[in-house]
Structure 1
Amino acid sequence: MDAPSSRLKDLLQVQLASDSYAVLHLPFVLETLTKSDFLPSSHTQKWIARVNSLIHSKDPAAKWSGLCLAHQTAVFSREIMLECAQSWVAAGMPLLVNQPAPTAKAAMRLLRLVFSNATDVPEFQRQLCTPNVPKFANALIAMAGKETNPELYLLAVETLTHIVTLYPSLCRPLHGSLSTLALCHLNGSSPTPTPSGHVEACSRLYAVLLLTGGKVNAPNLWRKSLDDTIAFTWGAFLQLRTTFADRGHGNIARPAPSAEDPVVAVPLALDRLRAAVQVVKDMLSTPTSRPVALPAGALVRLCSALLQCSPDEKADVHVDHAVRSLENSVISHLWRFACELLGSLSHAGQHHVTPHLSMLLTHLAFHLEQSRVPAHTLLLLRTVSTLLTNDAKLHDDIVASRLARSVMPFLSVVLSKRSTSSGDDEQGAGQGRSKKSKKRTRGYEGDEVFKVGREVVCTTANEGEVLLASVDVLESLLLRTPVNPPVHSIASRLCLSVYASLPQLPPVMLSPDLSLHSRLSAKLQRVCVNLAIGTTSTMSKSLGLLLSVSDHTAGPTGDLAEVLLHPRIPPLVRSLPHVEMLSLFRAEEGEEEIDVRNRVGLRVLSEPAMEPDVAEKLTPQVQQSNTSNTPRNLPGAKRNTGSSTAQEPALVPMQVDVPPAPTPSTVPRIPQLAQSSQHSIELQAAPIPTVNDPVAQNLLPPPPDPLSSDSAGLGPSSTATVIPPATTHMTPIATSTGEDDDDEPMPTIDLGSDSDSE
């Protein structure tokens, strides 16, 4: 590596030898320079002289290159910046007016760095910053007022925001001009909305103007500005609800109907609401010198009003249907604004949001229970996660359980799905009929049998983010809120089932983004480890399954080791937890757990998915057949391998109910049984579940088949052939076709045709 002095020498002799060379080789020079190049040497003063000559050059391109070199020099060497700041400020200030955009932007960045890089040097502040900062701010206000170049305008407003934050006292005389500049893009525009970059830049500038009031008056200005912004937000919101019934939002009066065309009035009100929400968010994140009174109640009422909007609300008697349709079209934007406000309020208010947390989460749970697009679902889930992870505490078990039930279906899509096809219904309905009345079924009659591709679980990026966000919400609910024991048990088993089935699901079948598989597995492992810790006196029953699954995954095992080494107090010292909190076996399920599992669409292999009317018709016949056979759930019951109906396993995996698929062609019964038997043997040979682990018998779903959308063991008929993993031997299924021969007519024998009778 060359010495610093030789590098500056080479750059001065070759790349910066002339003004044209300096412009041509500027990118190479900026990439080559390092901090060590500006150590004291004989070439430092030559470098400074060359940079100053470029800044004072008459060529605009050379002037621009000199400003860029001065900025890079100030970044790497503070000593050189303090030495040359006076000359650079004197040369850069006139370049803010009537100059090309690149030159003005370079001068603006250089002056901003000079005024910000030496705030701890009192003499530098007194001699250079105090007289020049107001001039610099005035020049920026004049430049932003022209709005000739959008990039130049945004840079000017952002620089003003930075300067006002550093020098609020020096900018106090400019408060009126700064307010006018900030509010020019916050009043909305129609029919073309204001660019989002302009709204965000002006909002940040408006949020820091309160600092000009000083340490004493700044909190009062902050509260007054926030109250005015909230009132402005209510006005814009109510302008979007003119055709809906008045809910009586506190002391907020409904504004008079606008005389403008609704095609112009509705977009204008929406743009104003967007700007007002952005201002509230920026003001909640603005630091103040002294504590301020946060109007949490007013903000919560505003968020609640936004979340309660629905297109199904009753309208007034006489409304314009065109205006009604326009106002209905912006309801999704109102929900998004509410979620953004709640996120900022949760970060700023923290435990002050606790009294309103139950009401807010109830609104969010209602929206999660509805059918929304993945983008809206993702926003709702992230808002719920933000509210639960901050200092606010939820003490309502009803709301927590409702949230858990509404979130579980988003995660259950990873499990194997079972569809109720017509062939399965026929086989289920045929169990109550005798052999004589059965008819041979013919398959391969429809196009459904040629479906060989399995659908990807998450086809878009938003759907994958919904999976990750649902895991975060379930983790917060199960570990930080008082969820009801049945819901807690079902949610724990769901997380374990998905975590155990992920190694059997190829990453390409989960999402086009291959990293989603590892991220989801890591999140689920963290949740399952926290659930496996149990209490101070006992571990969870899921520990064995968690260890067996983690042996075959590449996830970290440090948390698992911590679980194993965690000291425990004997059970006699502390009371044991409820059985429902650690329930993993189907035999321990109560009626509430079964009801919760059915409500969220989770079933097990031994529960055939039949219509209610079909189930009522088959109930007497099934009961009669059960009384004549061996009881299924008795531990000592033996398996009858020769019977057509096998014993129902006591421990079965979870699956997800999906709507009925198109009616496929029926398949002959014997090949179906053979296929199911083969599938059950493959299940037994799967490397993830252990053979003697009873927990794995209840949680592991069948491995997803990458070539088929409906696995062979997913229908009700497969429940008669699935062998429980706890069995140490596998019994083959007889494939005799004797039952089909009973349907053939018995051939008659003609005794008169015998040759002996002649």
Structure 2
Amino acid sequence: MAEPGSQLKGLLQLQLASDASAVAHLPYVLASLAQDSLVPSSHLAKWSVRIASLLHSKDAGARWAGLCIAHKSSIISRSFMVESAAAWLPIVVPTLSRPEPVPIPKASIRLLTTIFTAALEMSEFQRQISLPNVPKFTAALSNLAASHEDVELKELCLDTLARLIPIYPNAHRATFSSLSALALSFLNGGYPRPTPTPLVEAASRLSGLGILWRKALDDNMAFGWEAFHAVRTTFPNEGRNNQAPPQTGVDPSIAVPLNVDRVRCCSIIIRDLLSTMTTRPVQIPCGQLIKFAAALVSSSTEGQADGFVDPTTRAMEISIVPSLWKYGCEIITSLSSSIPRYLEPSLAKLLTILAFRLEQSPSSHQKAYILTALQNLLQKTRFADTPIAPNRIMRAVLPELVIVLSPSTTSDAITSATTDAAGSKKGKKKAKSYAGDEVFKVTREVICPTEIDAQILLSALEIVRYSIHNPNLSDSQSSLASRILLSLQLSLSQLSPSVLSPNPQAFFQVQKAVNSICTEIASTSSVSLQKTLPLIVRDCVKNGDAETHASLDLLLHPRLPPIVRPIPSTNALTLFRVEESEEEASARKTLGLEFAEGHGEHNPADQDAEMQDSFVPPPVATTKAAEPARPTQSSTASFFASNPPPASHPADTTPAPAAPTPTPAPFANWKPTTVVPQATSSAVASTSSAVGSTSSAPPPRIVSDGEEDEDEEMPTIDLGSDSEDEDE
């Protein structure tokens, strides 16, 4: 068994023999120290003396090594730290007031923070060591944060102050005003460069620790409104009576970016204030917060104040409007996470504003934070009692899901490339595209090439999850969303993860979300359960997700009796095209979702049935043709196609040429055939085409003579004429 302290003995004799070797072997020393290294032994006192000598060294590297070793020793042994703290503090605290290389004050701050927070339950240590030195440490941190140029060091000082103030509130009561002024100095915006975000967040956490919480929030709201109005000087405002505010002579290239940065600081302060733990109940000005967030998101580029408007100021204020939307969405996200129940009176207004922003075709970055705010609102709050907002949200979000269903346009790309490359008349001939060209395509475009695109897709799925259960959602939107989700599930099972996103985790997150939503839809309606459950079960079992298996088990073997409710009508959810309403068909065509039918040929089932006097339906070859086609993995995955069907074939609309008057001779070998009603045959054809049937062109119509001349009577056929001739 090794002698206690033998490891310290080896480190002292070899790695820490000199200051230079201590700096060179510091990583090995820190990695070698463990909890059993500082057990009581004869070498422990030598270890403490060696650390003190390194702290007193004239070499900056040796002092830094001593601080690191003291910090690691304090973490692994609290008793050793308690015994050595009194000797370390007079050496370490003054290093924060002297000009030192940046690593030394960083190491000093970490060591002092560990000393002041590791022994809070030891009252005697707190009384003799911590309380007399904490104010000195705080003053040194304030001076260092205000005067030093290194941003990371400033951030570390502010974070340390925000951590110490709740632990020692009475020790910082006298310095509260100076600390608040220090935090606000970093939250006043920056020009020409915005204040770094980590520094702003650290200063915001420090400002949120004030005793007067409501006063801090009111001051911040006034600061935010002032900055907001400063970047809307060329836009009409009710308070200004549509008059442009007086020009202050400040250069707009300085004032506009500075005030936008102040709005950003205001949104961060609101987030930190709402997440601060207070010792007493406080009143939250919910109305003012919601009004400020709605004003930011509602900012538009339209309208202009009366009077003279500087074109430079106008152009700059228009350019920063998307930034105002972003900060407004961040405030809405903070409000929905902190006070979701207080948002419900204004929930319809906020949802309408966000839905309107999505309808304006924003960029990917703008769409990301709008969808994030919308997702948090729907997740944290209850349903909004409005019939308009859920439908607008669903119409705005569904296009984000359709991009996964868009087929590859290989033949179009080949055609355009051939046409552009050819320079002669011979090369300008139309390139031929053949069926199956996409099989020979080596590279495919990624659906979500960036992380933001993948985030947009995931947020859109979550929004659909919460919106589809809204009772105010129309039947057509609910049905269309269900069909798109089912198509997504079947398409993802045949899609490579690298085609969806470069990040493979994004594919599994999307697939998991789609499977979960489809399972929820299947469990809410008997009609959808009957139609989609086999497809959902097959894909979920193939995926192998444990959570989805648990949901399916609960769905197939319910632990509770079924809910007593009326069976929904057929129009409540449609799976096939023949069942959809005109409103749903219009919404589907707006999204660019068309069925792939018969290799792009027109399907006569799309047209209304024309009732004619002498119409004879086509014969049915076999009895199996009347059965609806079952969806398969390869066919059901293509419920929709991005390209609309071409115009109808002339043969479908042009009447057939007149036929000669029939005689009894051609009907000599006539045999009766099974007659199928026109509505049934149309339904079968439409059902088969809805699941991706690639059958041949529709059978030709049999045109009778009655279509040519309705007044002429049909000739009668004497069935006994042949027998009479034989008798004669």
Do Structure 1 and Structure 2 share a fold, with TM-score over 0.5?
A: yes
Please name the residue that 1:655 is paired with: 640
Please name the residue that 1:167 is paired with: 168
- Please point out which of 206, 219, 224 is paired with 1:233: 224
Using the size of structure 2 for normalisation, the TM-score is 0.78
2:244, 2:306 within 8 Å by CA — same for their partners in 1?
no
Give the C-alpha shift of residue 286 in structure 1: 1.3
Residue 84 to residue 620, structure 1, CA distance change in 2 (3 Å): closer
Residue 623 to residue 177, structure 1, CA distance change in 2 (3 Å): same
Please name the residue that 1:666 is paired with: none
| Partners of 1:583 and 1:117 in 2: CA distance | 64
2:595, 2:689 within 8 Å by CA — same for their partners in 1?
no
1:73 matched to 2:65? The reply is no
Please name the residue that 2:178 is paired with: 177
Structure 1, unaligned runs of 5 or more: 211-217, 424-441, 640-649, 662-693, 703-712, 724-758
Give the C-alpha shift of residue 401 in structure 1: 1.9
Give the C-alpha shift of residue 335 in structure 1: 0.7
2:71, 2:114 within 8 Å by CA — same for their partners in 1?
yes
1:244 matched to 2:216? The reply is no
Amino acid in structure 2 at the alignment position of 1:168: P
| Partners of 1:626 and 1:371 in 2: CA distance | 52
What pairs up with 1:163-562 in 2 under 5 angstroms? 163-208=164-209, 210=210, 218=211, 221-248=212-239, 256-316=246-306, 318-417=308-407, 445-446=430-431, 452=441, 453-479=443-469, 482-534=472-524, 539=529, 541-556=531-546, 557-562=549-554
1:308, 1:363 within 8 Å by CA — same for their partners in 2?
yes
Give the C-alpha shift of residue 580 in structure 1: 4.2
Of 382-391 and 595-604, the range deviating more from structure 2: 595-604
Give the C-alpha shift of residue 175 in structure 1: 1.7
What pairs up with 1:686-701 in 2 under 5 angstroms? none
1:54, 1:63 within 8 Å by CA — same for their partners in 2?
yes
| Partners of 1:336 and 1:137 in 2: CA distance | 35
Please name the residue that 1:130 is paired with: 131
Give the C-alpha shift of residue 625 in structure 1: 12
| Partners of 2:483 and 2:613 in 1: CA distance | 29
1:27 matched to 2:19? The reply is no
Structure 2, unaligned runs of 5 or more: 414-426, 627-634, 647-683, 700-728
- Please point out which of 567, 571, 575 is paired with 2:566: 575
1:537, 1:569 within 8 Å by CA — same for their partners in 2?
no
1:589 matched to 2:580? The reply is yes
Residue 455 to residue 57, structure 1, CA distance change in 2 (3 Å): closer
| Partners of 1:609 and 1:33 in 2: CA distance | 73
2:596, 2:689 within 8 Å by CA — same for their partners in 1?
no
1:652, 1:698 within 8 Å by CA — same for their partners in 2?
no
Using the size of structure 1 for normalisation, the TM-score is 0.75
Residues 99-119 of structure 1, C-alpha deviation per residue, up to 9 Å, x if partnerless?
412222211111111111122
Give the C-alpha shift of residue 246 in structure 1: 0.8
Residue 148 to residue 414, structure 1, CA distance change in 2 (3 Å): closer
| Partners of 2:575 and 2:10 in 1: CA distance | 74
Give the C-alpha shift of residue 43 in structure 1: 3.3
Residues 502-538 of structure 1, C-alpha deviation per residue, up to 9 Å, x if partnerless?
1212222222223322221111111112222226999
2:397, 2:460 within 8 Å by CA — same for their partners in 1?
yes
State the number of aligned residues.
632
Give the C-alpha shift of residue 25 in structure 1: 0.5
Residue 90 to residue 625, structure 1, CA distance change in 2 (3 Å): farther
Please name the residue that 1:90 is paired with: 90
Please name the residue that 2:60 is paired with: 60
| Partners of 2:596 and 2:233 in 1: CA distance | 52
Of 536-545 and 313-322, the range deviating more from structure 2: 536-545
Residue 3 to residue 461, structure 1, CA distance change in 2 (3 Å): farther
Residue 625 to residue 457, structure 1, CA distance change in 2 (3 Å): farther
Amino acid in structure 1 at the alignment position of 2:188: N
| Partners of 1:401 and 1:392 in 2: CA distance | 16
Give the C-alpha shift of residue 446 in structure 1: 3.3
Give the C-alpha shift of residue 237 in structure 1: 0.7
Residues 220-240 of structure 1, C-alpha deviation per residue, up to 9 Å, x if partnerless?
x11111111111111111111
Residues 658-701 of structure 1, C-alpha deviation per residue, up to 9 Å, x if partnerless?
6999xxxxxxxxxxxxxxxxxxxxxxxxxxxxxxxx9x988997
Please name the residue that 1:110 is paired with: 111
| Partners of 1:25 and 1:370 in 2: CA distance | 61
| Partners of 1:420 and 1:316 in 2: CA distance | 53
1:70, 1:110 within 8 Å by CA — same for their partners in 2?
yes
Residues 427-468 of structure 1, C-alpha deviation per residue, up to 9 Å, x if partnerless?
xxxxxxxxxxxxxxx997238789845432222222122111
Give the C-alpha shift of residue 129 in structure 1: 1.7
Give the C-alpha shift of residue 255 in structure 1: 6.4
Partner SS for 1:359? helix
Residue 588 to residue 19, structure 1, CA distance change in 2 (3 Å): same
Amino acid in structure 1 at the alignment position of 2:12: L
Residue 538 to residue 506, structure 1, CA distance change in 2 (3 Å): closer
Residue 570 to residue 170, structure 1, CA distance change in 2 (3 Å): closer
Amino acid in structure 1 at the alignment position of 2:555: V
Please name the residue that 1:726 is paired with: none
Give the C-alpha shift of residue 568 in structure 1: 5.4
| Partners of 1:189 and 1:621 in 2: CA distance | 67
Residues 127-170 of structure 1, C-alpha deviation per residue, up to 9 Å, x if partnerless?
12221111111111122221233332222222222222221221
Give the C-alpha shift of residue 328 in structure 1: 0.7
| Partners of 2:278 and 2:15 in 1: CA distance | 48
| Partners of 1:510 and 1:719 in 2: CA distance | 30
Residues 343-394 of structure 1, C-alpha deviation per residue, up to 9 Å, x if partnerless?
1111111211111111111111111122122111111111111111114443
| Partners of 2:34 and 2:298 in 1: CA distance | 57
Of 324-333 and 36-45, the range deviating more from structure 2: 36-45
| Partners of 1:27 and 1:658 in 2: CA distance | 63
Residue 625 to residue 26, structure 1, CA distance change in 2 (3 Å): farther
Residue 589 to residue 7, structure 1, CA distance change in 2 (3 Å): same
Residue 105 to residue 548, structure 1, CA distance change in 2 (3 Å): closer
Seq. identity, %: 36
Give the C-alpha shift of residue 630 in structure 1: 3.9
**Structure number, greater radius of gyration:** 2
1:414, 1:498 within 8 Å by CA — same for their partners in 2?
yes
1:235, 1:254 within 8 Å by CA — same for their partners in 2?
no
What pairs up with 1:2-21 in 2 under 5 angstroms? 5-21=5-21
Give the C-alpha shift of residue 42 in structure 1: 4.1
Give the C-alpha shift of residue 629 in structure 1: 7.3
Residues 162-217 of structure 1, C-alpha deviation per residue, up to 9 Å, x if partnerless?
22222122111112221221122222233333233332222222111x1xxxxxxx
1:115, 1:129 within 8 Å by CA — same for their partners in 2?
yes
Please name the residue that 2:418 is paired with: none
| Partners of 1:446 and 1:194 in 2: CA distance | 56
2:491, 2:637 within 8 Å by CA — same for their partners in 1?
no
Of 196-205 and 15-24, the range deviating more from structure 2: 196-205
Amino acid in structure 1 at the alignment position of 2:523: I
1:420, 1:660 within 8 Å by CA — same for their partners in 2?
no
